[in-house]
Amino acid sequence: MEEELISIKNTALSFILEAEDLKNLEEIKLQFLGKSGKLTLLIKEITKVPPEKRKEVGMLANEVKDAIEDAIKLRQENLKHKTKTVLRQKIDVTNPGILPPLGHEHLVTQAIEEISGIFEKIGFTRVTYPEVEWDWFAFEALNFPQGHPARDDWETFFIKGEKDPQKGAMLLTPHTSSGQIREMQKALITENKGEEVSIRMLNVAKCYRRQSDISHTPMFHQFETLVIDKNISISHLKGVLDYFAKSYFGQNRKTRIRPYHFQFTEPSFEVDVTCGVCNGKGCKLCKEGWLEMGGAGMVHPNVLKMSGIDPEKYRGFASGWGVERVLMMREGLEIDDLRLLYSNNLDFLEQF
Ligand code: PHE
């Protein structure tokens, strides 16, 4: 508050000094001292200052007001006589400077960093792949044949332009699973040099879907794991996701997997985590004690084949969860409209 007052004083004084004529000076007066002038509005805020500081701030506000009023009077005289001299001394150059406001990482970026850290601890490597991608990587190689109705669930943005004869249309990645195919192709390049395939991938990326309402934003983030090796089983999947849930939500949380369907995993699951409010007993928020977190499953042999990996030799698991979703769940944030996350509203963002 003090800084703002001093800043208003300095700005007002320099404006007054530069005022070109009496009319201009009158405008400046209104801008600071008018009914909705800067200083008038700030003075109204004094009620919010803690009582023990209120007197001091009030006195400063009065000083600032007097200084501005004096300067205006003086400048009026000066303008009548067209000189600028005396007023210059009125700006107190010894006042401390104003610190520029400090920013910080967006809360979603903070969550991404934290999630990455958790997976990196157990040997996952974070990767990035194109977010403007070919249909082949986002659907076809993930075992969605052309025209398959399940594609509709992904509400995809397609990009106008010519289709590639092999890779199809271009699109904005509707999920991070396209990274699975890219990762397996990359691993094959090293396998062909004589190394075995051994993947522990974490792909965190922007995803885009044709959806915008209070619980959906057209752009959101997913984090995808892919593990490929010999003898990988469901217990590895369960272990990793359990480790993640405990690290991110708290050691007392439990996970469970439920049968589900995805084209690119077999078997497929949805993963639930015990509710943090009732600890799994059941409450208003979760109803039955569990909160749904996201998809997972054992990589479908067709997907391995299409990426050039021998399903007889290798097996793997994958999972894909929403960053915004896990973040909301953990913070217990009840945001009325999820679009607020990306609306650049400082009052909201500054809280994190
Ligand atoms: N890609 C799926 C989705 O967007 C999530 C998923 C990823 C499911 C990996 C299984 C395995 O819903």
Alpha helix stretches (DSSP H) within the chain? 2-18, 22-33, 38-44, 51-81, 107-121, 135-138, 178-191, 234-249, 301-306, 323-331, 346-349
Place of tokens 């701030």: 57
Mutate to test the pocket of ligand 1, among 137, 142, 154, 177 (most ligand atoms within 8 A of CB): 177
Report the first-to-last Cα separation within the chain, whole angstroms.
22
Q: Taking CB atoms and a 6 Å cutoff, what residues make up the pocket around ligand 1?
A: 175, 177, 224, 262, 265, 295-297, 318-320
Cβ atoms of 78 and 84 within 8 Å: the answer is yes
Distance from the alpha carbon of residue 340 to the mean position of ligand 1, in angstroms: 25
| Shortest-distance Cα residue to atom 2 of ligand 1 | 320
Each domain of the chain, given as residue ranges in start order, spans 2-90, 107-349
Query: What pLDDT digit, counting tens, does each position of 299-348 carry?
Result: 999 999 999 999 999 999 999 999 999 998 887 777 778 889 999 999 99
Mutate to test the pocket of ligand 1, among 143, 175, 181, 317 (most ligand atoms within 8 A of CB): 175
CATH superfamily of 107-349: Bira Bifunctional Protein; Domain 2 (3.30.930.10)
Distance from the alpha carbon of residue 324 to the mean position of ligand 1, in angstroms: 15
| pTM for this prediction | 0.73
Query: What pLDDT digit, counting tens, does each position of 103-155 carry?
Result: 999 999 999 999 999 999 999 999 999 999 999 999 999 999 988 988 988 99
Distance from the alpha carbon of residue 154 to the mean position of ligand 1, in angstroms: 10
